[in-house]
Amino acid sequence: MIAARRGAAGERIAASDVAIAAQLACLLEASAPKPGNVSPGRHFSDLRYEDFLASAAAIGAPIAEAGARPLGATVRRAVEATARWTASNASLGIVLLLAPLARAALTGAGDSDLRAAVRCVLDATTIDDARDVYAAIRLAAPGGLGRVDDQDIADEPTRPLIDVMRLAAERDAIAREYATAFELTFLTGVPALERARADGLAWDAAAVETFLALLAAADDTHVARRAGAAASAEVSRRARAAIAAGGVRTAHGRDAIERMDRALRDPRHLANPGSAADLTAAAIFVVLLGGGWHTSRGAAAHGGRDAASR
């Protein structure tokens, strides 16, 4: 079972530690050279690596207060804080994922496992939470959302946040995590990251390996919204091919990741696997909450320099 790291028996993790873990998760995810995504030296025309750094710094204070505020208010405050530092929508998906994880870590009983605590947080959400999340999404203004008949983002919600997310679960990866108590994060992302770190991979290589595992397990809904289901399926196929070639651990695998990165880059960034990147940040956050920063800290940085596409 995955549990948030505690101090003395029954003692909850400090809010400041949760905030640091959230910021560090964002920084580690953004810094890893994941194919098709922004990373150091690989910017988009409308989104740069520095935007992710600013977003990571900005969410610290709202995440630290996640245990004292309703979930929706935390999401809204974190998106508002990000908007004061960057004009780009750099962290909406990450905020939506990290906020309930942070609240669960800060409010769960001392002996509760984190996923069970997350389920309690989500089941307790209200219509007010949905209103705040809708306001945050409208402020961030992500592209490709389209229109739906029930609980559209342009309207005011009339159902609790968890119900709204369940309605969107088939078309949105973040909503699917809410509907399943973060199934992909806990059952695919976290084990992949823990395995990579236990094997001695540096954080950048481990993050890329986790990203590929998540992308191989489920089509990226960000790609699907922007480029269609066929394009999303092709991105996942490329992730599976890169893993089969050895991924970050072999020269052939790294070559496959490089080819994948080139194939996913176009002027409009339609094939950008943003949902898998957000899920990678969530997996990193969970591992950090479990004490993962100190685990295997002395391990050799296997694959660190040539771990992924350069």
Query: Collapsing DSSP states into helix, strand and coil, what is residue 243?
Result: helix
78: left (phi over 0), alpha (psi -120 to 50) or beta: alpha
What's the per-residue H, E or C state across 83-104? HCCCCCCCCHHHHHHHHHHHHH
* pLDDT for res 198: 97
The DSSP code for 308 is: S
Assigned superfamily of 15-289: Triphosphoribosyl-dephospho-CoA protein (1.10.4200.10)
For residue 55, the cross-strand partners are none
Q: What is the rounded (10 degree) CA torsion for 138, 25, 32, 193?
A: -120
For residue 201, the cross-strand partners are 302
* pLDDT for res 297: 54
Q: Using alpha carbons, select from 7, 27, 9 the residue that is nearest to residue 17.
A: 7
Rounded-to-integer distance, Cα 38 and Cα 43, Å: 5
Residue 20, both tokens: 């640091």
* pLDDT for res 145: 58
Residue 242, both tokens: 């890169």
The DSSP code for 147 is: -
* pLDDT for res 215: 97
* pLDDT for res 66: 98
* pLDDT for res 98: 98
Residue 300, both tokens: 């050799």
pLDDT by 10s per residue, the chain, length 310: 334 444 444 567 899 999 999 999 999 999 999 999 999 988 888 889 999 999 999 999 999 999 999 999 999 999 999 999 987 778 999 999 999 999 999 998 554 699 999 999 999 999 999 999 999 999 987 655 566 766 677 789 999 999 999 999 999 999 999 999 999 999 999 999 999 999 999 999 999 999 999 999 999 999 998 899 999 999 999 999 999 999 999 999 999 999 999 999 988 888 999 999 999 999 999 999 999 998 655 444 444 444 443 3
